[in-house]
Amino acid sequence: MYVLRINGKNLPVVKTLYLGGVLLMLSFAYVLVDQFINREIPLGIPTQNNFFYFLLGLLLLITFLLANKLFRFPKANLGKLILLDWFFHTVLLSVLLATIAILFVRAQALPRINIFWVYGIFFGLVIGFRYMQNLIQALYRQISNPHKSMVIIGAGLKGTQLFEYVHKNHQNKYKILGYLDDMNGNTMIGADQVVGSVDDFASYFDQNKVQEVFCALPSYADEKIKAIQQYCEQHLIRFRKVYDEGMFVSSREARVQFGNLPIVLPRHEPLQSTLSQGVKRLFDILFSGFVLLFVFPPVLLVIGTMIKLTSKGPVFFLQRRNGQHNKEFRCWKFRTMVVNDQSDSKQATKDDPRVTPIGAFLRKTNLDELPQFINVFKGDMSVVGPRPHPIKLNESFKDVVEKYMARHFVKPGVTGLAQVNGFRGETREKKQMQKRIQYDIHYIGNWSLWLDIKIVFLTIWNMVHGEENAY
């Protein structure tokens, strides 16, 4: 029942946005009532009590915060009863606080009829705002990704309940391909809905381009559940499991509700929220736009000239790399090496003879990454995120390092949490890459706009002071 929560805490940027929305609606409600008064619409309301409006505004804001327990908004797709329950408690608490407020203000000074007008407009705007947000999110999903192909593993009671809920509430989001089940006689659905056995999950996922998997196997099938989850993580398939009694749920995992069914996710992922995606994309556009307009042109003139004067070859180096969902894109950089045939297969090492003198300076100061803001503006990358690795490096580590491919659930970044913590440059040993991936997974699970801003400032700090592994 949360818009967005990370490790039990609400995301500050979401708080800020919703607080702004609440204040905007409150102001609008006041303006409407004030307009009624000034135009002398016959409401029978006294008009000389500004303190009352301040008190009422503060009261409504406190009411809204308390009623939602610090922005724990109900999701519309959880059902009408939950929405009605939320609305009922909000109104009940509002009336209670209003009664308390009246005790502290002289009764004759209160424009009582105004209370009903402001309350009516305010709560109408709150409900309208909530439904409008859900409508915009639904339209966005429909345009950006009309249907996600999903499979339910296990056709028992929980599996069939999940099927019915998704079919009823998420037809615009999911396309259910069917069940994977061993048909042991306990299944509650027809054989025509079972598209394969549980043991054949890998081949079925590959052949049918499955995007999301909901595992409804009982908790005693723990080893099989782990094997399916690991396969999904390595192949960028979203994995969810339906909670079963006796199932262990770690603190790193997250829970969401599908109707009455608790669903367990491998990790908190704030960027699964459409609102958070929008906030991050807006930050990317504004930041990259500023850099490309005001920083990049003079830097390009100076650095481009120096590259051309000191070595033969182009100013830019474009390399194929894997981005979000493992999709390939061409990553822009200033060329820092002499033109060679090993640039896609061999990492730069300390005192690498391929690196030019100006290239060494660019690498030390991270200025070679500046053209990647072109990728950010285009949408291939983000300002902050897991660094995109060359394709051959990806291939060599994806089956060796656990959860390596999970970093591709989000857009790669010009800079990242691993990089500002010293994990950049050459990776000679497996444990170095493992540490990078740990930071990347931590970033994905704890994203916030503030974290992005913090990483940007730390990157600038490292650029000024230099980094040991920057070569």
Give the Å distances, CA to CA, from 79 to 168, 169, 179: 11, 9, 25
Instruction: Confirm if 221 and 233 have CB atoms less than 8 A apart.
Output: no
pLDDT of residue 36: 52
Average pLDDT over residues 302-312: 90
Residue 73: is its pLDDT beyond 50? no
Q: Are both 228 and 164 inside the same structural domain?
A: yes
Q: Are both 281 and 168 inside the same structural domain?
A: no
Instruction: State the Cα–Cα distance between residues 418 and 399, nearest whole angstrom.
Output: 20
Q: Are both 138 and 45 inside the same structural domain?
A: yes
Instruction: Confirm if 242 and 158 have CB atoms less than 8 A apart.
Output: yes
Instruction: State the Cα–Cα distance between residues 401 and 14, nearest whole angstrom.
Output: 34
Residue 117 lies in a domain: yes
> Which of 177, 63, 179 shows the shortest CA–CA distance to 115?
63
DSSP designation for 355? B
Residue 470 lies in a domain: no
Q: Are both 226 and 308 inside the same structural domain?
A: no
More confident residue, 429 or 453: 453
> Which of 384, 388, 386 shows the shortest CA–CA distance to 438?
386
DSSP designation for 389? P
Q: Are both 138 and 162 inside the same structural domain?
A: no
DSSP designation for 391? H
Rg (CA), the chain: 27
Is 0.85 topped by the overall pTM?
A: no
Q: Are both 189 and 287 inside the same structural domain?
A: no
Query: The domain containing residue 200 runs over which residues?
Result: 146-266
Q: Of 94, 120, 142, which residue constitutes the final position of a domain?
A: 142
| Residue listed under structure tokens 């990259």 | 288
pLDDT of residue 3: 38
Q: Are both 456 and 314 inside the same structural domain?
A: yes
Q: What residues contact residue 16 under an 8 Å CB cut-off, 6+ apart?
A: none
Length of the chain: 471
Give per-residue burial for 273-309: e unless 16+ CB within 10 Å, then b. bbbbbebbeebbeebbeebbeeebeeebeebeebbee
Can you list the positions of beta strands (E) in 104-199?
Answer: 148-153, 174-180, 194-196
Q: Are both 458 and 313 inside the same structural domain?
A: yes
Instruction: State the Cα–Cα distance between residues 384 and 377, nearest whole angstrom.
Output: 13
pLDDT of residue 150: 92
Residue 47 lies in a domain: yes
The pLDDT mean for the chain works out to: 75
Q: Are both 108 and 168 inside the same structural domain?
A: no
Residue 224 lies in a domain: yes
Confidence of residue 411 (pLDDT cuts 50, 70, 90): very high
Average pLDDT over residues 361-382: 92
Instruction: State the Cα–Cα distance between residues 124 and 130, nearest whole angstrom.
Output: 10
Residue 364 lies in a domain: yes
Instruction: State the Cα–Cα distance between residues 453 and 287, nearest whole angstrom.
Output: 10
Tokens for 407, please give them. Answer: 């970093």
Q: Are both 377 and 397 inside the same structural domain?
A: yes
Instruction: State the Cα–Cα distance between residues 350 and 126, nearest whole angstrom.
Output: 59
Confidence of residue 397 (pLDDT cuts 50, 70, 90): confident
Q: Of 88, 122, 142, which residue constitutes the final position of a domain?
A: 142
Confidence of residue 12 (pLDDT cuts 50, 70, 90): very low
Instruction: State the Cα–Cα distance between residues 343 and 425, nearest whole angstrom.
Output: 14
pLDDT of residue 445: 92
Lowest mean pLDDT among 6-20, 122-136, 292-306, 424-438: 6-20
pLDDT of residue 134: 60
Number of domains in the chain: 3
Residue 471 lies in a domain: no
Instruction: Confirm if 357 and 311 have CB atoms less than 8 A apart.
Output: no
Give the Å distances, CA to CA, from 71 to 1, 127, 265, 299: 10, 14, 22, 44
pLDDT of residue 5: 38
Cα-based angle 394, 375, 386 (whole degrees, multiple of 5):
40
| Residue listed under structure tokens 């009903």 | 116
